[in-house]
Chains A and B, each alone.
Chain A
């Protein structure tokens, strides 16, 4: 069965402008009577709640965090893209649109991406007005850098803390609305179910995490901005609390989940050091501008390093394999994330990894130090500087550029990266899949919207660096305030919903029973241990390279693990109190179902594209082989029952403005 994204007619370049100009409006006096629930206070949720509050809607906003400011968005480092063309280097809305569609390996919806590129410019203006301290040039104007291998400088940044500064901007805008009473904020409240009345989304059940009490909240529509699901892999760069439950709960109420298998694995993270590891830490992509990736050419050297008998410094230049430069001479160390990650996996699978677990490669700055050192010496007019001076001068430059990252690396690993080459390995970082939404960011459940990383919409099979912050803020500040109006304009005569009505009471009872069932298991294994085991299955079979046999196996293993979980998990305490183990258990239970759908989706997609690499579908040179004739669709899954196969709905993607090409970085 095919279905559509409700993209408005007309030219790609004018669709959004026309839509905004012709959509039905809600009068201010009516806005006051309409209630909107926003779940999530990351970039997408905080921006949406603040803006809808400004517009005059009655907003209730929820987060499981103790403060809206702690959302996972806070951790983003590198930057945010916008087609400002301040650098006069040929950037444009079209080019950003084109790069995003291409970078996503032609698996996203053209019209959504074009709109994203259009509003990107407004985001920067908005953030500046809020006081976000972006990096500046000496002349006082905004600075840009190039990021993620694109050919223009369109990335705005705030040192290595862009996400923090943008989130604080949105948090402050939200705080202003809270103080005016237009947004009522519910911290430490976790949404555990969606309430539907006559098929439309009309409220949520939330658990007050302090008291354990279940609360029923009604509204005219519900907006989810609940982030990504990378933690289905247990180890990822996501914050510990990031989870899929809000999204998964609405799937259980009939929403479709799109492209779950599209996962971004980031090439530069600190490798795992032991079993106790709780999360992985990203080292910004910007490091690849100056760092060279390598492993020893011989296994003997690699083994010696793993056993601590040699270090990277003992391996002479000619015994090193700079494998990215070798395989991709045109792009070298700057190939896109998916390509760099897979290449690291291959190097380690061949036995040349350089950390005790075998899963790590070097990221080496010594060439950069020499290059910068020489150029500094030259500009300082030093004649015949000695090696020590060059190294000192060069180290200074590297420190200026990456100081805080190097510091963080040293804190975590205890090794000084100015001396020893850094050790890195790919890690799960971002999920392109998510709830299926149409052009209005509305799911297939009327009145239920989804924004930010939680939806599937704009990045296709692979996201470009610095584009997630852009999308979250675009959705929240500039898209949903319009598109939600299209829905709400038809609801102005709908009276407020009674949170004591039968649908609410039933949903609350469902949640309470579900939590009690988990508590009643009283088995012997911790929630964490199940999550860790799920993560291992996912990483092994649904990670950087997938194949049919492995995916079938993974699906079976996940089902077995799920059964074991429902027999043997141990959760102390009760429902009626602050209970972190119970919170985690409910989230892991949902991951145990999502994980299966992930494998099903990866099995269905018999092609390689972006973050999804199927070993059966590669070129002779080992590169991804896309199959546009058969797979240029969005896979939107309907999950009916845990014992049945999910149903696939295909949204065929049409590319009217872009010619489909094979990505090549050779």
Chain B
């Protein structure tokens, strides 16, 4: 097993009110560790020194829950494509490297502490229309709604979004278009989701704006940093649906 000596420059911020700064730490890691295991080691070290450990979010450590969220050397989730921070392993770095770790930054994602930010704006976007209105028990037999494989698969590609927010952190405008369009694409492509399609896109876009996310200027950094490689084609599809819905909708919300 090869060990690596690293210098970490990590964002420390006591709470939402205080000003944060980058602190420097030295750490001995192994190339087999995940990035978060390396941070675990840092925290053990800090606790041994009776200092406050670094706060960061994580849960599944399996690339699926979307909890882990940090900017590593300027890139959300770090250098490896299609990967969350928890799946990034130290063999992506070299002995002697300096690594800068910061929180996801966006007006709509206020910092709570250190690397922990508040992403509840995403929940509110879903609450504004990211669902199909069907009560439990009202459903017809599953096979009475056949869906061709390609449509199902396209909806699926959009549905794999894990709600991590890397797209927002990657975007110079802190836009949430990739996240929002992924949900719109998932539901609006399916026959079950078509009935509410217009209202859904109008409501979700309006909520997104209300939360303070920026506008989209087609930089496409979101797609490049998205750990699930959600395509920017979803944004184009949502824009088309939005224009169509705005022209034909008789409801204003």
Which residues of A line the B interface, CB within 8 A?
A: 47, 50-51, 54, 65-70, 72, 74-75, 84, 86, 122, 124-131, 133-142, 158-159, 161, 164-165, 168, 171-173, 175-176, 178-179, 185, 187, 210, 239-241, 273-274, 276-279, 281-282, 408, 411-412, 414, 477-478, 481, 526, 528-529, 570, 572-573, 577-578, 580-581
Contact = CB atoms under 8 A, between A and B. Distances in A.
A528 B61 contact: no
Contacts of B118: 66
Contact count band on B: 35 or more
B126 interface: yes
Given A130-B131, A142-B143, A276-B33, 5 more contacts: A66-B57, A67-B122, A279-B61, A572-B51, A572-B53
B55 interface: yes
A576 to B, nearest CB: 11
B186 interface: yes
B159 A168 contact: yes
B61 to A, nearest CB: 5
B65 A133 contact: no
A128 B145 contact: yes
Contacts of A128: 139, 142, 145, 192
B190 interface: yes
Contacts of B152: 133-136, 140
B220 interface: no
Interface string B64-100: 1111000000000000100100010101000000000
Given A124-B142, A128-B142, A239-B60, A133 B186 contact: yes
Contacts of A67: 119-120, 122-123, 163
Interface in B122-171: 122-123, 126-128, 130-143, 145-149, 152-153, 155-156, 159-160, 162-163
Interface of B: 1, 15, 30-34, 36-37, 40-41, 43-44, 47-48, 50-53, 55, 57-67, 80, 83, 87, 89, 91, 112-113, 116, 118-120, 122-123, 126-128, 130-143, 145-149, 152-153, 155-156, 159-160, 162-163, 186-187, 190, 192-193
A125 B140 contact: yes
Contacts of B193: 131
B59 A580 contact: no
Contact of A241 (B34, B59, B128, B145): B59
A267 to B, nearest CB: 18
A239 B59 contact: yes
A404 to B, nearest CB: 9
8 contacts: A50-B136, A67-B123, A72-B60, A75-B60, A84-B142, A176-B127, A278-B34, A281-B62
A273 B186 CA distance: 38
A135 B91 CA distance: 35
Contact of A274 (B1, B139, B145, B156): B1
Contacts of B65: 70, 72, 74-75, 239
